[in-house]
């Protein structure tokens, strides 16, 4: 019996095998597809069939023809894929890959909050559990939140959860007054304004790229505020050659690959000696765990049928609106 007690398959890797080629072989044999978020380790991004931000991963899962989806990301990303593809096997190589933002919004408390505000349209960020999505009218990601909010009538009363920074940002760019849930991502809230300003002094012509999950003062010193994908697109298109990047540092791998002649400097967090800011959950997934998860097809994501039936509606609504608004990936 294979144990996944630790959250992943803890089996020794056979001596002398080449893990990368074995992953490729197993993938073919099982008609599996590997999807990875931009915050994954470089070696995971490199071996994946698709890399993307939260929106792209949901879009890719929805149209996948594979039998097995290996989601190299965090738990809610696996859940979203499973809800969209109930007949496929969805695997997350380490089930302990959670999300502090999703954890800041417990389903029962959110349900109570929604109940207290009847008549409100409920918008939830994709970084939530399936149970929270079940209480939601429309799911959004940071790539489409502005357009989806703007697609609703001006007078519509809206609850937005769980990220207060993204919610405040969307309020400021749309002129809405959405009621916000008080949650946050521990990684994006950590960036140090002072350290970014110091880096700016060192690299005079550098532009500052900031994710909207960051605190407002950090957003205020940005040249560009946007989702992970939007920041990548900006770095590719802009003529500037140096960028200070205030989002999870995994994205620097793709930025550097796409723009080998440009310089990308990770923005440092407030505390610690680290010069970049990593999501410990995202980094839990390693090549060895990916290999074992494919080999044993474990650990598998499952979502309660009743919850999935409710949660699929707001996710599909997001995908439909995104397609209608032409929010497509590069």
Name 325's Cβ contacts closer than 8 Å, sequence gap at least 6: 144, 147, 148, 151
Element (DSSP H or E) covering residue 16: none
Among 281, 311, 318, 327, binds ligand SF4 (CB under 6 A): 281
Which one, 79 or 213, has the nearer CB to ligand 13P? 213
The answer to whether 101 contacts ligand SF4 (rule: CB under 6 A) is yes
> Looking at 56-64, 130-138, 170-178, 182-190, which segment touches ligand SF4 (CB under 6 A)?
182-190
Residue 48: CB minimum distance to ligand SF4, A: 17
- Say which entry of ligand 13P, ligand SF4, none residue 142 contacts (CB below 5 to 8 A, set by partner kind): ligand 13P
CB 126 within 8 A of CB 140: yes
The item of ligand 13P, ligand SF4, none sharing an interface with residue 32, based on CB under 5 to 8 Å by kind, is none
> What sign does the dihedral 152-154-157-159 (CA atoms) show?
positive
- Say how many C-beta atoms besides its own lie within 10 A of residue 327's C-beta: 19
**Which one among 44, 132, 185, 255 touches ligand SF4, defined by CB under 6 A?**
185
Query: CB of residue 68 vs ligand SF4: minimum separation in angstroms?
Result: 22
187 binds ligand SF4 (CB under 6 A): yes
> Can you tell me the distance from the alpha carbon of 238 to that of 236, in angstroms, rounded to the nearest whole number?
6
Among 40, 45, 100, 286, binds ligand SF4 (CB under 6 A): 100
First-to-last alpha carbon distance for the chain, in angstroms, is 43
Q: How far is the CB of 54 from ligand SF4 (least distance, A)?
A: 8
Please identify which residue in 48, 70, 74, 267 interacts with ligand SF4, judged by CB under 6 A.
Answer: 74
CA-to-CA dists, residue 7 to 61, 263, 295, angstroms: 22, 37, 16
Under 8 Å between Cβ of 58 and 81: yes
Where does residue 281 rank: exposed (0-12), middle (13-18), buried (19+ CB within 10 A)? buried
CB of 72 vs ligand 13P, minimal distance in Å: 12
Least separation, in Å, of the C-beta of 105 and ligand SF4?
11
3-state secondary structure of 148: helix
Burial bucket for residue 208 (CB in 10 Å: 0-12, 13-18, 19+):
buried
- Integer Cα distance of 260 and 15 in angstroms: 36
Shortest distance, position 144 Cβ to ligand 13P, whole Å: 9
- Identified binder of ligand SF4 from the candidate list 53, 79, 94, 248, rule CB under 6 A: 248
Q: Is 101 exposed, middle or buried (0-12, 13-18, 19+ CB in 10 A)?
A: buried
Residue 143: contacted member of ligand 13P, ligand SF4, none (CB under 5 to 8 Å, by partner type): ligand 13P
Q: Does 181 participate in binding ligand SF4 (rule CB under 6 A)?
A: no
- Report if residue 282 touches ligand SF4, rule: CB under 6 A: yes
Q: Which stretch binds ligand SF4 (CB under 6 A): 16-24, 27-35, 180-188, 286-294?
A: 180-188
Look at residue 100 and give the partner it binds from ligand SF4, ligand 13P, none, a contact being a CB closer than 5 to 8 Å depending on partner kind.
ligand SF4
What residues make contact with ligand SF4 under the rule CB under 6 A? 39, 74, 99-101, 127, 185-188, 248, 279, 281-282
């Amino acid at each position: 019996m294979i144990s996944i007690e630790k959250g992943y398959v803890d089996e020794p890797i056979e001596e002398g095998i080449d893990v990368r080629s074995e992953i490729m072989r197993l993938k073919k044999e099982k008609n599996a597809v590997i999807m990875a978020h931009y915050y994954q380790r470089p070696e995971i991004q490199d071996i994946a069939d698709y890399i993307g931000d939260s929106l792209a991963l949901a879009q890719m899962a929805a149209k996948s023809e594979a039998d097995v989806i290996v989601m190299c990301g965090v738990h809610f990303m696996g859940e979203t894929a499973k809800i969209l593809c109930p007949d496929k096997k969805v695997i997350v190589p380490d089930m302990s890959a959670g999300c502090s933002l999703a954890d800041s919004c417990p389903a029962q408390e959110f349900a109570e909050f929604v109940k207290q505000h009847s008549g409100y349209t409920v918008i939830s960020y994709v970084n939530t559990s399936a149970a929270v999505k079940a209480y939601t009218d429309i799911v959004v990601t940071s790539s489409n939140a502005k357009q989806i909010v703007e697609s609703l009538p001006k007078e519509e009363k809206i609850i937005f959860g769980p990220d207060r920074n993204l919610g405040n940002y969307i309020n400021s760019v749309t002129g809405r007054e959405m009621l916000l849930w008080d949650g946050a991502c521990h990684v994006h809230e950590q960036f140090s304004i002072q350290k970014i300003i110091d880096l700016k002094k060192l690299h005079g012509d550098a532009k500052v790229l900031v994710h909207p999950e960051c605190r407002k003062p950090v957003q205020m010193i940005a040249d560009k505020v946007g989702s992970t994908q939007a920041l990548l697109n900006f770095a590719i298109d802009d003529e500037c050659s140096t960028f200070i990047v205030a989002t999870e540092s995994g994205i620097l791998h793709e930025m550097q690959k796409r723009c080998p002649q440009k310089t990308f400097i990770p923005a440092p967090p407030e505390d610690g000696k680290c010069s970049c800011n990593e999501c410990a959950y995202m980094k839990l997934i390693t090549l060895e765990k990916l290999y074992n998860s494919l080999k044993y097809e474990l650990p598998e994501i499952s979502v309660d049928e009743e919850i999935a039936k409710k949660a699929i509606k707001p996710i599909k609504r997001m995908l439909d609106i995104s397609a209608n608004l032409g929010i497509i990936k590069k």
